A and B are shown apart, each in its own frame.
Chain A
Amino acid sequence: MSTPVLETENLVKVYGRGPAQFHALKGLTFEIHRGESVAIVGKSGSGKSTLMHLLALLDEPTSGVVALDGRPVSKLKPKTVSALRNETFGFVFQQFFLNPNQTVLENVTLPLKIGGVSKSERDKRGMDALEQLEMADKAKNKATDLSGGQKQRVCIARALINNPEVLFADEPTGNLDSATSETVEDILLNLQRNHGITLVVVTHDEDLASKCQRRLIMQDGEIVEEQTGVRASSSHKAPVTAGHGAPESRRRRRILPFGKGAAR
């Protein structure tokens, strides 16, 4: 087995106090391996979003441990955690969260700007990322001028710009029609398969979940079932099973640049 990029041990999250207390997570212990694609599936209120927030270091658990690359993060300073998120993670949101006042390129390069990368370097890498997602011609457009599918591709470009180890996608297809959904799903899974990015998807979309290598089915703050293996056949011929075990995907590889159209 490869090194677990993310591990949890007895993860508990409790909201509120006293009689109004709500146990969102009731002690979860699991591992996510490097290069793996994992879907966290469950109905709303099952705790899947809470779990993702804890994994993505956006929130702190009430008790239990989250470890990144074998290092527990709960003891780190907020500033270190922020820097870690900036360098290690990519985020794709259901609601896109693009800044309507800025151009597509500015939106895509935001993580680099936060990370303190120079403007010329930002723009170069931003254009590479947009090219990879075939959005280069929209670079100068305002983010509001795009269709839903285009917006989500811009979001993915933004998530990829800092060569993340882990890509978190929160209901990435929740706002898209089925045809566009499929494209976005393929882009995400392709990144995981061909570029060694660990993909963590939170969804209640059966179709998307079934394309992931592992599914954690959640109910009432607990993982009630764990399924492995891709169930439905994907439109791609590339073998995906046990892909994470391949030696070349063990080490973190640069994502950019890779062939144009690869993300189709």
Chain B
Amino acid sequence: MKSLDVTKSALSNTLRSKLRTALTVIAIVIGAFTLTLTSGLGAGINQTVDRIFGGFGEDDAIYVVPQVEADAQEQDGPAEYDPDAGAEMDSGFGTGMLSASDVETIEGLDYVVGVDTEVAAQIEYVEAPDGTQYQAQFDFALNDVLAEFAAGGAPDRTAMEITIPEDWLEIYGADDPDDVLGETLIVAAPNAVGQTSDIEAEVVGVTQGTLAGVGFTPIPSVALAEEVADINAEGFEGQMPEAYIMAAAEIENLEQNEEAVKEALAEEGLWGLTVEDQIAMFEAVIDAITWILSGFALIALLAASFGIVNTLLMSVQERTREIGLMKALGMSRAKVFSLFSMEAVMIGIMGSVVGVGLGLATGFITDGFLTAEDGPLGGFAELSVFGVDPLAIGGIFLLIIIIAFLAGTLPAARAAKKDPIEALRYE
């Protein structure tokens, strides 16, 4: 029997008892549908991340934060007070801040050509040109590289510039983001005794919120943030310890020296991350969630595979005569086996085509609804919660066909084993 004839016969055999096949196929469809949705969710979010951060390949900075001590959680009871140790605590260790000496250390490392620091900048309010005051908080100045811009660009780190989120356009009465570029925003910074000073900042960009949480609040330039921090420190009694939230170390030839700098940082108790590392961490979380969800879909598929076993065993039982006849007329065991496993594969193909098709349709419709301008997730820039990963879709097809084939082996082996004489006996 030719392979084409085996395939055709298998297809027509599965269509023989339509209801039974349909019910078995539905079980596969549910598995395929769920797998398509979960993998599409992961693909969509990761594609969004890639799209947003794709443009920052030239960024040659390593972002440095203090390393979280692993044993910090494991100490027994409160540590005893040590006055000498306290004197050294100029950085507020444990609060996750870098000290001035840390920054010096970073500057002293090989390959580091420059360090920008992120200071904690407290603001009281911001004021629009018309005098209206708004409650506000700054985003990190060093997050400027992660922002997604609707208009304009990142603030010059040395100038008094700022970006505003897209939904702030209304304070200038503007609809088009381009209209607010060049406008002025007055930033009111409080000092230690509660008096505020105004700083004028030029709006140079309009940001859209991203999944990394960047761009939902105004991003100041580094200089502006430092200016605000200086005002914050005014009137402080005694020595105000210098503390930085993070530092951006500009690295010479990042690709080659990345590992060396990171190791040097680790020795100093510091933790260095490139933008790519941050993306990778984010994507790892998304992938983990995707895998967990896909695990449930796999369980559904496993259950469905028993449906195939059941259906085909019934079919083999019913078609004992036919199998016996085919064997008597010279069909080999191997061909009988392949005929029945091909029927299982056919069920798998039908289920996966319908399931993946439904999954894709549902995914795109849901994505369109959720991320529409006024949808529940419309506020995120360029977000799509569903994407097609051709490799994943191909993988789903292959996986289901393999599962179906494996499920078909037991009934197919039964069919192949049938004795033609027994099968053709009439009683």
- Given A93-B424, A95-B426, A114-B335: A85 touches B5 (CB 8 Å cut-off): no
A82 engages B322 (CB within 8 Å): no
- B329 interface contact, C-beta 8 A: yes
User: Cβ of B333: which chain A residues have Cβ within 8 Å of it?
Assistant: 78-79, 82
A56-100 CB contacts (< 8 Å) to partner B: 56, 58-59, 78-79, 82-87, 89, 91, 93-95, 97, 99
Q: A97-B321, A114-B326, A116-B2 are in contact. Are A82 and B424 (CB under 8 A)?
A: no
Give the CA-CA distance A114 to B1 in the complex, in Å: 4
> Is the pair A97, B424 in contact by a Cβ cutoff of 8 Å?
yes
Q: Which residues of B contact A114 (CB under 8 A)?
A: 1, 326, 329-331, 335
Residues of A within 8 A of B16 (CB): 101
What is the minimal beta-carbon distance from A92 to any residue of chain B, in angstroms? 11
Q: Name which of B2, B325, B329 has the most chain A CB atoms within 10 A of its CB.
A: B329
> Which residue in chain B gives the minimum CB-CB distance to A170?
B424
B105 within 8 Å of A by Cβ? Answer: no
Bound together, the chains give a CA A83 to CA B332 distance in angstroms of 8
B80-120 interface (Cβ within 8 A of A): none
Are B2's CB and A85's CB within 8 A? no
Query: Any chain A CB within 8 A of the CB of B420?
Result: yes
Select one of B330, B331, B332, B421 contacting A59, CB under 8 A.
B421
**Contact flags A168-194 to B (C-beta < 8 A → 1, else 0):** 000000000000000000000000000
Contact with A along B1-44 (1 / 0, CB 8 A): 11001000100100010000000000000000000000000000
Minimum C-beta distance from A58 to chain B (A): 5
Q: Give chain B interface residues in 198-233, CB to chain A under 8 Å.
A: none
Contact A58 B5 (CB under 8 A): no
Contact of B330 among A83, A118, A119 (CB under 8 A): A83
Using C-beta atoms within 8 Å of the partner chain, give the interface range for chain A. Answer: 20 to 34
CB distance from B213 to the nearest CB of A (A): 63
Q: Bound complex: CA of A111 vs CA of B327, how far in Å?
A: 10
B172 CB to nearest A CB, Å: 76
Least CB separation from B3: chain A residue:
A116
Most chain A beta-carbon neighbours within 10 Å: one of B9, B330, B331, B426: B330
Query: Assuming the A-B contacts A58-B420, A82-B330, are A113 and B325 also in contact, with contact meaning beta carbons closer than 8 angstroms in the complex?
Result: no
| Interface residue? A110 (CB, 8 A) | yes
- With a cutoff of 8 Å between Cβ atoms, the chain B residues found around residue A113 in the complex are 1, 5, 9
Q: Which chain A positions have C-beta within 8 A of B321? A: 97
CB of B288 within 8 A of chain A? Answer: no
The complex places the Cα of A119 from the Cα of B2 at a distance, in Å, of 10
Which residues of the other chain, A, contact B9 by a CB distance below 8 angstroms?
A: 113
Interface string of B302-332 (1 = CB under 8 A from A): 0000000000000000000110111111111
Residues of the B chain whose Cβ atoms lie less than 8 Å from the Cβ of A101: 12, 16
Q: Give every chain B residue within 8 A of A110 (Cβ-Cβ).
A: 325-326, 329
- Is A85 a contact of B328 with CB atoms below 8 Å? yes
Residues in A with CB closer than 8 Å to B292 are none
CB contact under 8 A between A111 and B329, given known A99-B322, A116-B1: yes
What are 11 A-B contacts defined by CB distance under 8 Å? A58-B328, A58-B421, A79-B333, A82-B333, A95-B426, A97-B322, A111-B329, A113-B9, A114-B329, A114-B335, A119-B5
Interface residues of A (CB under 8 A from B): 53, 56, 58-59, 78-79, 82-87, 89, 91, 93-95, 97, 99, 101, 110-111, 113-116, 118-119
**20 more A-B contacts (CB under 8 A) besides A82-B330, A116-B5?**
A58-B420, A79-B332, A79-B333, A82-B333, A83-B332, A84-B330, A85-B329, A85-B330, A86-B329, A87-B330, A93-B424, A94-B426, A95-B424, A97-B322, A110-B326, A110-B329, A113-B9, A114-B326, A115-B330, A116-B2
